[in-house]
């Protein structure tokens, strides 16, 4: 066991294989708005949806706002349940982390409504002490604001006791910005090259390495 007290897990690409639901709902939104573009999964998981629609696919802010609504409509109807899966072995990791005495939380830019449903539906919320997620009204949407919310909610006074676990540069940048350590996992949506370019204390290549490091 490490010397950390708090473990903050990213959700998409770290706890859940959310790619199919996110990609299909994102593509539905762009298709409905008349954008003739093929969505690439690696581009859209990590940053807030509206932000990526504007920065990666060139949508105007007005269209991106409509796109976000369309995305959420399909994701709520289909993606969150039928196209979202647990990574093999992550339930064991979360269970062992709880048994080891960590305080386990999430820190995700996925809205809290979806996050709570998915973790309950996949039967892992029992291992999580606090769900830190974004809000649907955009008042809390970035990784940094979510991390700050989690630290405040848990009453964290010593940031050296906190470790964020995530799979993309957005996780690593967010952790560094807030001043906490980060551990990267390479089985998610970030490439090894990308993860090596940002600050982390360790890169777990697979679930076994993650379990061995934390537990």
Tens-place pLDDT, residues 136-172: 887 898 999 999 999 999 999 999 999 999 999 999 9
Mean pLDDT of 109-125: 95
> What's residue 2's pLDDT?
74
In this prediction the pTM is 0.90
Q: Is 90 exceeded by the pLDDT of residue 46?
A: no
β-strand 85-86 against 16-17: which pairing, if any? Answer: antiparallel
Token pair in block for residue 104:
């386990």
Q: 169-178 vs 143-154: helix axis angle to the nearest 10?
A: 50
Q: Output the six-digit token pair for 140.
A: 């809390």
User: For residues 75 and 25, is the Cβ–Cβ distance under 8 A?
Assistant: yes
């Amino acid at each position: 066991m490490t010397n950390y007290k708090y473990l903050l897990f990213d959700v998409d690409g770290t706890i859940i294989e959310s790619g199919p639901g996110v990609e299909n709902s994102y593509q539905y939104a762009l298709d409905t708005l008349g954008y003739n573009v093929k969505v690439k999964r690696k581009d859209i998981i990590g940053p807030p949806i509206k932000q990526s629609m504007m920065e990666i696919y060139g949508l105007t802010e007005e269209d991106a706002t409509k796109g976000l609504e369309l995305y959420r409509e399909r994701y709520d109807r289909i993606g969150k349940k039928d196209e979202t899966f647990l990574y093999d072995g992550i339930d064991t990791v979360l269970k062992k982390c709880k048994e080891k005495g960590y305080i386990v939380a999430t820190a995700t830019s996925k809205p809290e409504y979806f996050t709570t449903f998915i973790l309950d539906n996949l039967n892992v919320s029992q291992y999580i002490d606090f769900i830190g997620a974004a809000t649907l009204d955009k008042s809390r949407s970035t990784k940094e604001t979510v991390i700050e919310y989690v630290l405040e909610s848990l009453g964290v006074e010593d940031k050296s006791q906190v470790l964020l676990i995530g799979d993309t540069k957005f996780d690593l940048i967010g952790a560094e910005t807030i001043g906490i350590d980060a551990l990267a996992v390479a089985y998610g949506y970030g490439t090894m090259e990308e993860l090596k370019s940002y600050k982390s204390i360790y890169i777990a290549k697979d679930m076994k390495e993650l379990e061995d490091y934390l537990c």
